Amino acid sequence: MTLFDIIFTGSKQALEAAKAAVDSAIEKKGSDAKVAFPETAYSLPTIYAATGKKIGNLGELRDVLSIVESLIVPEQNLEKALNAGLATALSAEIIEACKYAVEEKPYSEPCAGFISDAVIRSLGVPLVTGDIPGVAVVIGEAPSVEEAAKIIKNYQNKGLLVCLVGKIIDQAIEGKVKVGLELRVVPLGYDVTSVIHVVTVAIRAALIFGAVPPGNLEELLKYTRERVPAFVNALGPLSELVVSAGAGAIALGFPVITDQDVQEVPHFLITQKDYDKIVPTSLEARGIKIKITEVPIPVGFAAAFEGERVRKED
Amino acid sequence: MENCGCITCDAATKELYEKAKNEGIETVWDRARAMQPQCGFGEMGLCCTNCGMGPCRIVKVSKDGPQAGICGATEDTIVARNFARSVAAGAAAHSDHGRDIALALYHVDDKARIKDEEKLFKLADEWGITVEGKDTVQVAKEVAEKALGEFGKVFGNLLFLKRAPEKRIKLWEETGVASEAIDKEIVRVLHSTHMGCDADYRNIIRQAIRAAMTDGWGGSMIGTELSDILFGTPMPKKVEANLGVLKKEYVNIVVHGHEPTLSEAIVVAARDPELVELAKKQGAEGINVAGMCCTGNEIAMRHGIPMAGNFFQQELAIMTGAVEAMIVDVQCIMPSLATITKCYHTKLITTSPKAKIPGATHIEFDEQKSFEIAKRIVKEAVMNFKNRKGEVHIPDEKSEGRIGYSLEAIIKTLDRVTNTHAHPSGTVKPLVDAIKSGVLRGAVAIVGCNNHKQPHDSCHVTLAKELLKRDILVVTTGCGAHACVKAGLMSDDARKYCGKGLATVCELLDIPPVLHMGSCVDISRILVLLSEVAKYIGGDISDLPVAAAAPEWMSEKAQAIGLYAVASGVYVLLGVAPAVTGSENVATYLTKDIESVFGGRFEIESDPVKAAEKIAAHIENKRKRLGI
Ligand code: SF4
Ligand code: SF4
């Protein structure tokens, strides 16, 4: 299967899952039931930023499915592949929104789930000014608890914000990584779709700090590409769904570094099988340069975490 | 694309063509019109003049006319022979060019004249020349000797064939086209196409391939490699193009032709303070050198010298009234220049004993005394500034582009997207990954000339744009390169013509979507690039999602190029049919059956939009077969 076909397949799977989630939520709650993430003024941020539409109830959410569907055009070119990746991101948001529509509190310790506007406002400034030098999104499962802890702590030591999705969360805890927002290690959730909660951080940064008008997808992607220094580490076996979510990350300008054999894409999709090199590979791929000498992990936010983002060739 | 009736899509050309019409000056288009209708026998390749019993012609339209030549040669034989002779002539032109460069290298007596020592030593190594204890000049001499040996050595195959992927080399050996010495193969075509020799069209074409191979993998490659050693390997740089690069207040010198030995010397001489001072004394602000056709490509690639125009603009350059001297050497120089220069003050200066034109001033160039002679020539131009007569009319048309993409430059550029912790540097891996992942669908070389049978430049440019939007990277050389740079396709702005994949690649690599790889002999750079990519994926050139196109070709050189590309495994699209249509067998062989032998074939398509569709289909087909 070509790389693009894997992406299209994953995007279709995500769409099917989103459809099923909406159907089951409507069955349980009815199409008038309210849909919202907690403590945000940006409705469902991905959908809002991409389409300009605020979603109020499950019926409206169902209408978004056709937009997602229209983004999946299985033609063999990058444009269509990236669109399919965005479709997966939208599907993920739909699925996550359904969780919040059906359950009172879908996420519990240690998982954060949706991240509130207030947190973004506090994170956003150091993020866009470079005080937090980058955002590492680690998805999947490392080969061992030790490797997982080593990678996460390495990012943590460098002052990056680390978001965890999947089994890596348990590995982190087992590996005695202290987690929590103030420690800049945030377990999001165990389902792949919970990765959308870090995506919406980037998207709300664009809406809040970049004043990107909702519905202007092109400007949104430009902002995230240029201003949000995020990247993805996809560890362990990759499903089609994860690959298509990766295409979504690439559409936002975030490179994906994996320990798996994939067809590499220059700059954007890189295989690194040496776990000791995952961190430097990722930082270089995103053009993140750490200025200061490393210091042991501090408690809370430390001003010592000064980072600078520069392009590789500078 | 319906021909809109325009002779060109280039504004400067249109403007000066109108001027020519108003002033009653005859240009290539007028002569082409006067030639209509062109002879059908010649057009189909059915006319033979190879012996004193002829001329003979085969009549296809009725059964009553002759169906064989007086000697009994069939249409297949006659067509194949004519084609083979054209190919041999093209290969001879390129190869003789290569020989001159090799001679120039042989005569180097000062290390300072070697501009790329690294490349010299690399080539010495490739050719098994020991370098220990030898100085650069000595190594240069030995490399040059080895190169010169390629033209007439008694035993052994062309050395550069070894650069191809293993599978290709084996195929060439099996099919009997692994060429030996350059001159020998060309002579053999002339021999076997003599009356009463080879009558088997497939065998004639096989020999034509052997001759063509001595061009791409012989003379042209020697020309390119040794030119880089002598004058420097091109690296990316900005350049201005089109007739608007001529400057009213300056002494304008146009160098036209092919061999960089002459043009390089002119570039240096034109910077000589003494001559610049002299120009100022004549009332000019300075000396402005601009290049035309392939010699223009050579000095543009290496020094950023402005590109005045391509093949069909050579007469028009003179009509600006601003050209003090047009300095020419060999190949693609219209003899009509002598007539046109008579209407202006422009001096036509021929320099090669191989190409004299009645009515021109001949100052013979000698590599040994290159600077001296170049100075003399430039002085002629400077002293001619005062003789300008009438209005100067320089079209206000020029574009800017980035050029200089030698193979070395491309690989260096590719390193920009390698991750130092994850990837090796200095390889074609990023290009291969971009293609394998589908971000780029493939790559196409647009090469070749101008031809009145196609609207000037328009086919080059339309084809390029059609490919760009399909995420197909374009590389170009020769007059196609001139067309593309003039149309702005080598600027960053050209990303707007690209599909998302190609645009992204251009942005990451900081390159234009159309890469200028040099002159016609520099197509050898493309062969090496293809070989490197094929070796990297462990396959053959014929496996790659690539193609070549010569939408406006005209010269015999272009036919040789086309044939060596096909024999190297490349699908080659021609915008003008070669004179082979008189024989169904030959035409079918070249456009179909030959693919089962070499993996490459010719395709004839004059409409550039349809051409792009065919090329894209070919590329997708190759992708499918590779499973990518
Ligand atoms: S070689 Fe044969 S076909 Fe050609 S001119 Fe002579 S007789 Fe005629
Ligand atoms: S492209 Fe054709 S016309 Fe132009 S210089 Fe080369 S052979 Fe001559």
HEC-encoded secondary structure of A168-209: HHHHHHHCCCCCEHHHCEEEEECCHHHHHHHHHHHHHHHHHC
Residue B251 belongs to some domain of the structure? yes
B604 band by pLDDT with thresholds 50, 70 and 90: very high
Contact A281 B419 (CB under 8 A): yes
Per the CB < 8 Å rule, is A77 touching B504?
Answer: no
Q: How confident is the model at residue A126 (pLDDT cuts 50, 70, 90)?
A: confident
**Do B306 and B203 lie in a common domain?**
no
Distances (CA, A) of B355 to A178, A280, B361: 82, 61, 12
State the count of interchain CB pairs (< 8 A) between A and B: 73
Ligand 2 atom at shortest distance from the alpha carbon of B554 = 2
d(Cα B485, Cα B491) in Å, to the nearest integer? 8
Nearest to B419 among A76, A81, A284 (CB): A284
| Contact between chains at B500 and A267 (C-beta distance less than 8 A) | no
- Mutation to probe ligand 2, out of B449, B450, B454 (largest number of atoms < 8 A from CB): B449
Mean pLDDT of A252-276: 97
Nearest ligand (C-alpha, residue B483): 2
**Would you state the pLDDT for residue A292?**
58
Q: How far is the CA of B337 from the centre of ligand 2 (A)?
A: 16
> CB distance A281–B508 less than 8 Å?
no
Contact of A272 with chain B, judged by CB distance below 8 Å, is answered with yes
Q: Is B430 on the interface with A (CB under 8 A)?
A: yes
Average pLDDT on A140-159 reads 96
- Contact status, residue A205 vs residue A222, Cβ threshold 8 Å: no
Q: What is the spatial distance between Cα A231 and Cα A128, in angstroms, rounded to a whole number?
A: 15
B39 assigned to some structural domain? no
DSSP reduced 3-state for B346:
coil
Q: Are residues B279 and B158 in the same domain?
A: no
DSSP A6-54: HHHHHHHHHHHHHHHHHHHHHHHH-TTSB---TT-SSSSHHHHHHH-PP
pLDDT level of residue B413 (50, 70, 90 thresholds): very high
Instruction: Please check the confidence at residue A302 and state whether its pLDDT lies above 80.
Output: no
Task: State pLDDT tens for residues B420-437.
Answer: 999 999 999 999 999 999
ipTM of the complex: 0.91
Stated as kind and residue range, the H or E segment containing B61 is: none
Distance CA B601, CA B592 (A): 6
The per-residue DSSP string of A96-121 comes to HHHHHHH-S----TT---S--HHHHH
B155 shares its domain with B195:
yes
**Residue carrying structure tokens 């980035």:** B402
Mutate to test the interface with B, among A1, A3, A75, A77 (most CBs of B within 10 A): A77
Q: Find the Cα–Cα–Cα–Cα dihedral B1, B6, B9, B14, rounded to 10°.
A: 180
Between the CA of B410 and the centroid of ligand 2 the distance, in Å, is 23
B267 and B159 both lie in a single domain: no
**Cβ-proximal residues to B343 (8 Å cutoff; 6+ apart), any chain:** B23, B25
> What are B275's two structure tokens?
């001559």
Question: Does residue B548 form part of some domain?
Answer: yes
Is the residue at B4 inside a domain? Answer: no
CB-side neighbour CA atoms (13 Å) of A115:
25
Q: Is B165 helix (H, G, I), strand (E, B) or coil?
A: coil
For residues B458 and B544, state if they share a domain: yes
Domain boundaries, position B97 = 75-231
From the CA of A256, how far away is ligand 2's center (Å)? 46
pLDDT at B5: 67
B90 and B215 in contact (C-beta within 8 Å)? yes
* pLDDT-derived band at A303, boundaries 50, 70, 90: very low
Residues of B within 8 A of A82 (CB-CB) are: 500
- Is it the case that residue B234 has pLDDT exceeding 50? yes
The answer to whether position B238 is within a domain reads no
Residue B421 backbone phi and psi in degrees, to 5: -90, -15
The pLDDT tens digits of the residues spanning B331-360 come to 999 999 999 999 999 999 999 999 999 999
Q: State the distance from the centre of ligand 2 to the C-alpha of B510, rounded, in angstroms.
A: 29
Is the per-residue pLDDT at B131 higher than 60?
yes
User: Is residue A293 over pLDDT 80?
Assistant: no
Note whether B472 and B445 are within 8 A (CB). Answer: no
Residue with tokens 């894409």: A265
Instruction: Report the run of H or E that residue B467 belongs to, with start and end.
Output: helix B458-468
- B489 and B581 fall within a common domain: yes
Domain boundary among B387, B420, B446: B387
Query: Which residues of B are annotated binding-site positions for [Ni-4Fe-4S] cluster?
Result: 258, 294, 332, 449, 479, 520
Q: Whose CA is nearest to atom 6 of ligand 1?
A: B51
Spatial separation of the C-alpha atoms in residues B418 and B436, rounded to whole Å: 16
**Surface of B (566-585) touching A: CB under 8 A:** none
Number of Cβ within 10 Å of residue B297's Cβ equals 34
One-letter amino acid of A90: L
Minimum-distance ligand to the CA of B48?
1
Secondary-structure breakdown of chain A: helix, strand, coil percentages, each rounded to the nearest 5: 50, 10, 40
* Beta strand B56-57 pairing with B47-48: antiparallel
Q: Which residues of B touch A263 (CB under 8 A)?
A: 433, 436-437, 628
In a domain, residue B307? The reply is yes
**Chain A residue closest in CA terms to B505:** A266
**B485 belongs to a structural domain:** yes
CA-based radius of gyration for chain B: 24
pLDDT band for position A304 (cuts 50, 70, 90):
very low
Residue B342 shares a structural domain with residue B448: no
The two three-digit tokens of residue B91, written as one number: 């290969």
pLDDT of residue A291: 63
Which residue in this structure is represented by tokens 């000064």? A306
Mutate to test the pocket of ligand 1, among B47, B71, B193, B197 (most ligand atoms within 8 A of CB): B71
Neighbours of B345 (CB within 10 A): 18
Tell me the per-residue pLDDT of B294-304, one tens digit each, with 9 for 90 and over: 999 999 999 99
Confidence of residue A312 (pLDDT cuts 50, 70, 90): very low
Ligand 2 centroid to B480 CA: how many Å?
A: 8
What is the reported pLDDT for A306? 39
| Annotated binding residues of B for [4Fe-4S] cluster | 39, 47-48, 51, 56, 71
For residue A299, pLDDT beyond 50: no
Does position A300 have pLDDT exceeding 70, yes or no?
no
pLDDT band at A307 (very low <50, low <70, confident <90, very high): very low
Residues B227 and B250 in one domain: no
Q: Give the confidence band of A174 by pLDDT, cuts at 50, 70, 90.
A: very high
pLDDT of residue A100: 97
Instruction: Summarize pLDDT for A83-103 with one digit per residue, the tens.
Output: 999 999 999 999 999 999 999
**pTM for this structure?**
0.94
Residues B285, B321, single domain; the answer is yes
Domain match, B420 and B508 both: yes
pLDDT of residue A294 exceeding 90, the answer is no
B227 and B247 fall within a common domain = no
Cβ atoms within 10 Å, residue B470: 21
What share of chain A in percent tops pLDDT 70?
Answer: 92
- Give the C-alpha separation, B148 to A268, whole Å: 47
pLDDT of residue B389: 86
Rounded alpha-carbon distances, angstroms, from residue B311 to B289, B292, B337, B480: 17, 7, 12, 10
Check residue B347 and give its pLDDT. 98
With beta carbons less than 8 A apart as the criterion, state whether A262 and A237 touch: no
Supply the pLDDT for residue B45: 98
Nearest by Cα to B164 from B156, B172, B152? B172
Nearest to A285 among B419, B434, B620 (CB): B419
